[in-house]
Amino acid sequence: MNANELRTAESASIALTEVRDNIKAIIDEVVTTATEYTITRHGKPVAVILSYEEYESLVETLNILSDDEAMDAIEEAEAELNG
């Protein structure tokens, strides 16, 4: 899954009690449709369910953003492209 696919993933909120009652169906939907769920407790967001592919992509992005050398290389490449 690439970054563009992540940006177009559907997102929905779901109560913790509903997750508890429907976890298999929710996981199946997350895996097959890239839907992301924000789990709420008493109406407040407390957790997120997303596919493992999306999770890996987010972690990789965070690792790149926290790597000063990688960010310097990206900035240099952008500067070269923009002339």
Paired strand residues for 13: 38
Per residue in 51-65, pLDDT (tens digit) is 999 999 999 999 888
Per residue in 10-29, pLDDT (tens digit) is 899 999 999 999 999 999 99
- Structural domain boundaries enclosing 44: 3-82
Pairing of strands 36-41, 11-15: parallel
Count: domains in the chain: 1
The CATH number of residue 50's host domain is 3.40.1620.10
Residue 8: the pLDDT is: 54
Q: Which residue type is seen at 76? A: E
Per residue in 24-51, pLDDT (tens digit) is 999 999 999 989 999 999 999 999 999 9
The phi, psi pair for 42, rounded to 5°, reads 55, 35
